[in-house]
Amino acid sequence: MPAEDERRRDREARPPGAPRETSPDQQSLLDRLRDANEQLVVGSMRAQEVADQAEAARTEAEAANVRKDEFFLSVVSHELRTPLNAVLGWAQMLSGGLVEAERAQDAIRTIERNARVMARILDDLLDLSRIIGGGVRIEPVPVDLVGVIQRTLDETHPAAQARGVHVKLTCRGVPDPVAGDAIRLQQVVANLLSNAIKFTPSGGHVEVRLTQVGSDVEIQVSDTGQGIDASFLPHVFERFTQADASTTRRHAGLGLGLAIVRALVERHGGSIRAESPGPGQGATFTVRLPVLTGYLARDAEAAGGPTMRPGPAARMRLDGIRVLLVEDDTDGREVLARMLEVAGARVVAAASVSEALEALTTIRPGVIVSDIGMPDEDGYALIRRLRARQAEAGGAIPAIAVTGYAHPDDRDRLLAAGFQAHLRKPIDPDEIISTVASLAVVGSRLPNR
């Protein structure tokens, strides 16, 4: 076998340890294998480097989230404890008789103002929770934005007056109604207006402009305040974000208001934008909402009964209106009764469902105001037993639910159960008076006992 002999001669002729000769094809293959191996090594090193970078980024993101959570919790604690300090401090001073008579009213106003601050913080936190969980639902009805804005101006007037800020409303014509939730839209305007007042110095101006632009209604809130830096404008609607987040910041707040505003506007099918020439030159926030096309006020009234348009308590009287008030908490019952009585209502108070039903055997109220969370039998039990009656026996008396429960489904459940309106604690005097006045119109048409 010549080939075998040739290979044996080659092995015998090659000194031990000498490299074996390779053909050009073999060498090319070896070179390619060597290159591929080098590429695998480099790729593996790069993959490890990317993995290390990803792990570092994840660790940093987790640390950033922890820092953000810790910062947010510290801000929440500070924002709640600051007004709580004023409330408890003045309350203890008043109860201990340590406040002069001439200063007592100032102390009470301070308590009220700071209690409202805490209520607003709580509302913002609850709204944020609903927004994150997708729990904010809008049930559209025709809404008159002129009335919404006017009520908001009435509410924010004391704050503007205290800061020496001049606020005015410019309404160009009478815009068409929009489809939305009046309470949520009032929250939008209130947040924008409160922000403008807060960031405007004494002697400054805030203007609210309402205009119809084609098929949209435009709300603009402009101020002559501190303005917004161009670098912060893209982040102004983000949650937990403030232009000044330091401990020396001048303006309190959680940094949630504008994030909530954007979420509510978008759920109404609208849009919002922020503009500012720069620091010290004021800012303008513009909300656009689609109008409710083909709307006629008389059609809405014919389809849904009287429309409720709450107004300031100073313009609203309840003279001669009998109200059955059902509330198990003594303090809550007394303050609600007083709110209604100062407006002229005749209030019959009951501490339980059984007391309320007993009262209905002798009186026929124009409106019932009932708490929901009560021992033994709750407000749902009351409305079920009431609606089971014939109209002549009081089964159609308008009823208002008063509750501290704030879940988004609560309002739907209450209205489905038979209540005509839902008020959330803490109760605003203007709101309960105007709601009672509106529902009393329905009650006046019912058969008398």
Which tokens go with 270? 């609208």
Mean pLDDT of the 345-368 span: 94
Q: Are 90 and 139 in contact (CB under 8 A)?
A: no
77 DSSP 8-state letter? H
Q: Give the 3-state secondary structure percentages of the chain, helix then strand then coil, rounded to 5.
A: 50, 15, 35
Residue range(s) occupied by CATH 3.40.50.2300 in the chain:
311-443
In three-state secondary structure terms, 21 is coil
Q: Which residues contact 418 (CB under 8 A, 6 or more apart)?
A: 383, 384, 386, 387, 399
Mean pLDDT of the 52-79 span: 67
Q: Which residues contact 241 (CB under 8 A, 6 or more apart)?
A: 235, 255, 259
Q: Are 123 and 257 in contact (CB under 8 A)?
A: no
Which residue do the tokens 């004023």 mark? Answer: 86
Residue range(s) occupied by CATH 3.30.565.10 in the chain:
141-300
The CA-atom distances, in angstroms, between 91 and each of 109, 241, 330, 333, 335 are 11, 34, 19, 20, 17
Which tokens go with 36? 């591929």
Chain-centre distance for alpha carbon 306: 28
Segment 18-39, tens digit of pLDDT: 555 667 776 777 777 777 777 7
- Between 265 and 40, the more confident residue is 265
Cα four-point dihedral sign 256, 261, 266, 272: negative
Segment 426-438, tens digit of pLDDT: 888 888 988 898 7
- Assign domain 311-443 to a CATH class: alpha beta
Assign 285 a pLDDT band (cuts: 50, 70, 90).
very high
Segment 118-166, tens digit of pLDDT: 887 888 787 777 777 776 677 677 888 988 998 899 888 888 998 999 9
Mean pLDDT of the 59-67 span: 64
Segment 370-395, tens digit of pLDDT: 999 888 899 999 999 999 988 888 88
Taking alpha carbons only, the member of 348, 418, 432, 431 closest to residue 380 is: 418
Taking alpha carbons only, the member of 222, 223, 225 closest to residue 286 is: 222
pTM for this predicted structure: 0.51
Q: Are 197 and 159 in contact (CB under 8 A)?
A: yes
- Assign domain 29-135 to a CATH class: mainly alpha
Answer yes or no: is pLDDT of 205 > 80.
yes
Q: Which residues contact 438 (CB under 8 A, 6 or more apart)?
A: 306, 308, 309, 310
Which tokens go with 279? 């620091």
The CA-atom distances, in angstroms, between 423 and each of 177, 203, 404 are 23, 36, 9
CATH number of the 141-300 domain: 3.30.565.10
The CA-atom distances, in angstroms, between 215 and each of 45, 178, 211, 269, 449 are 59, 10, 11, 12, 50
Q: Are 226 and 279 in contact (CB under 8 A)?
A: yes
For residue 277, is the peptide bond before it cis, meaning its omega torsion is within 30 degrees of 0?
A: no
Rounded to the nearest 5 degrees, what angle is found at the Cα of 313, between the Cα atoms of 311 and 315? Answer: 75
Q: Are 406 and 424 in contact (CB under 8 A)?
A: yes
Residue range(s) occupied by CATH 1.10.287.130 in the chain:
29-135
Q: Are 225 and 196 in contact (CB under 8 A)?
A: yes
In three-state secondary structure terms, 139 is coil
- Across the chain, mean pLDDT equals 79
Assign 10 a pLDDT band (cuts: 50, 70, 90).
low
